[in-house]
Amino acid sequence: MSSARLGKYRNDLTLFMAIAFVMSWAAWAVAIALGDAGAATAFHALGAFGPLVGALVVRIRRTRRGEAVPELAVRFRKAALVWTPPLLVLGSATVLAGAFLAHQGGGPALSLESGKDMIEANPGGPVSFFATMLLVGPLSEEPGWRGTAHPRMRATMNRYTVGLVLGVIWAVWHLPLFFIDGTVQNELGLATPSGALFTASAVPMAMLVCHAYERAGVLAAIATHFAVNTTMVMLGVEEPVTLAMILGVQAVVAVGLLATIRPADGRASRRRTVRRSPTPRRPADRPADRRSGRRRDPAVVVAQLASRSSLSRESLPGSASYATRVRSSAGRSRDS
């Protein structure tokens, strides 16, 4: 990949990160300042759209400049519609498996009471609750983190490194939520074991969503993000043992799944389809004898060509040998 293209990717990443962090943290700073006021909820939701706005700005700039889509971007295709439901189930299964294993180890039992209470407290009922879970988080973030940052980072990193780095960035980006009243992070507390585990869980979560993106694009990433968030909220996961077990399960699953993906850059398939042009014969190559398949001595070839050339010249009407042959032929005709 050319250095010019890598430079454009770095500029895009810098612009995206700047917009995502500045917009989100500015909105969340207002929400923190407002405390438990009703308007704080609006700024909390607004801050979640920082990555989406950053992605749109980068896309608009790329389109105006006439630049191509990043080489490693996973575009939407029909296969995404097939992969999305299984990945949705898989995301939820990692949370359920972790919570189940934690319970077997002495942790709290699985219960949906917390989720039911949240749905009942929502004025719009279940539809509003699940729509909010989809909009604030998956839809507002994945076009940015995965759709914009991921393919540009993949130009210089492998998928494991991208998942790790994006996970750390993702965790830092979420930090102001610990100081906004009413958020899950605020209830956990930043300086508690649960808060620390929640922050650390951003890394395996990012790797899991990275797998979904490389498998089927942004739609699959949104589905996986939505499944994990919703299942965590419905189960009311707060205990450190449960959070730790979910973190471990997601890490193992994500590492294994990333290893199953074929190269997403398409370079292997392009190498199979590119035909090599025949190598031109060099001037120094000696001609081959068509009958024997062996190469002939250049001196012999030159002598043969010279002989043919002299014979051709002698057979011309203007040559001396030609005139001699004509006179001798005429004399034999008279004698007869």
The contacts found for 33-42 with CB under 8 angstroms, 24 or more apart, are: 35/181, 36/181, 36/182, 40/180, 40/181, 40/182, 41/182
Residues of the domain holding 78: 73-262
Tokens 């077997």 — which residue? Answer: 104
pLDDT tens by residue, the chain, 336 residues: 678 888 899 999 999 999 999 999 999 999 999 998 788 999 999 999 999 999 999 999 999 999 999 999 998 888 788 999 999 999 999 999 999 999 999 999 999 998 999 999 888 899 999 999 999 999 999 999 999 999 999 999 999 999 999 999 999 999 999 999 989 999 999 999 999 999 999 999 999 999 999 999 999 999 999 999 999 999 999 999 999 999 999 999 999 999 998 754 444 334 344 444 445 555 444 444 544 445 556 666 556 666 665 545 555 455 555 455 545 554 554 444
d(CA 245, CA 274): 48
Our CA angle for 165, 169, 175, nearest 5°, is: 150
- From the list 33, 44, 21, the residue with the least C-alpha distance to 183 is 44
Query: How much is the pLDDT for 180?
Result: 96
Beta bridge partners of 295: 288
Burial class (CB in 10 A: 0-12, 13-18, 19+), 27: buried
Is 196 contained in some domain? yes
Query: Helix H segments across 105-239?
Result: 113-121, 125-134, 140-144, 150-153, 159-174, 184-188, 193-200, 202-216, 218-235
Question: Is 283 among the domain residues?
Answer: no
| CA 157/CA 150 separation, integer angstroms | 10
Give domain status of residue 47, yes or no: no
Say what the pLDDT of residue 16 is: 98
Q: Is residue 51 a contact partner of residue 185, using CB atoms and an 8 Å limit?
A: no
Residue 167 lies in a domain: yes
Counted domains in the chain? 1
Q: What is the DSSP string of 30-47?
A: HHHHHTTSTHHHHHHHHH
Residue 306's pLDDT is 60
